[in-house]
Amino acid sequence: MPAVRLAPSILSADLGRLADDIARVEAGGADVIHVDVMDGRYVPNLTFGAAVVATARKATHLPVDVHLMVVDPEQYLEPFAAAGASIFTFHPDATRHVQRHLAAARELGMRAGLALNPADPLTLVAEVLDDLDLLLLMTVNPGFGGQHYIPASTDKIRRARALLDRHGSGIWLEVDGGITVETIAGASRAGADTFVAGSAVFGTPDPAAALRELRRRCAVEV
């Protein structure tokens, strides 16, 4: 079973106390800080830019995982690298030259990731596995927090794990959307190793306890 990494999404944090909230989840056992970047075009919502990434970078020693739900993500490569992003993840249907931008992310010192929407086939990443450090499977349709996990995602996670295992790489398999104490175990058993959770962590009175319970659920055999 792959290692479990928990990546609280600051989309659900208190932005007025962002540094404090990040410190709380880091102390509580988070492995990664997840930043959802939306441009109001690729998805309807509008969220964070490089300044928030820089704030997150200053607030933690953990990797800062930036997920860009934006059109033409290549225009953000240098700004986010300069802001301190550790992982640069974008959607392949948002740009024309996917491999070029994955390579550019690595050249700028970031890990390179691709994100697939629920209806996107795994074939969209099959030709660039050598250029990937992270594969993100959206388990909801992107654009808003607090949505419910799509049950068909579990089989897709299983097939993605088989694809990555056949490739023999150390690519992280991340899932994002509706990850709660009720859904994380199934996603973990299917082969995901990195879990984005927003309201399931920051929407609770005790984020550290929430992280502990999410991690425990991954270890439970059902």
Catalytic center residues: 36, 176
Question: Which residues, in sequence order, are CB contacts of 25 under 8 Å at separation 6+?
Answer: 8, 33, 201, 202, 207, 208, 211
Rounded to whole angstroms, how far apart are CA atoms 217 and 211? 10
Rounded to whole angstroms, how far apart are CA atoms 112 and 110? 6
Are 90 and 116 contacting, i.e. CB atoms less than 8 angstroms apart? no
For 37, the 3-state DSSP assignment is strand
Q: What is the 3-state secondary structure (H, E, C) of 125-176?
A: HHCCHHHCCEEEEECCCCCCCCCCCCCCHHHHHHHHHHHHHHHCCCCEEEEE
Using the CB atoms, write b or e for 155-179: b if 16+ within 10 Å.
Answer: ebbeebbebbeeeeeebbbbbbbbb
Which of 179, 80, 89 lies closest to 125 in space, CA to CA? Answer: 89
- Looking only at Cα atoms, what is the longest distance across the chain? 45
By residue count, the chain amounts to 222
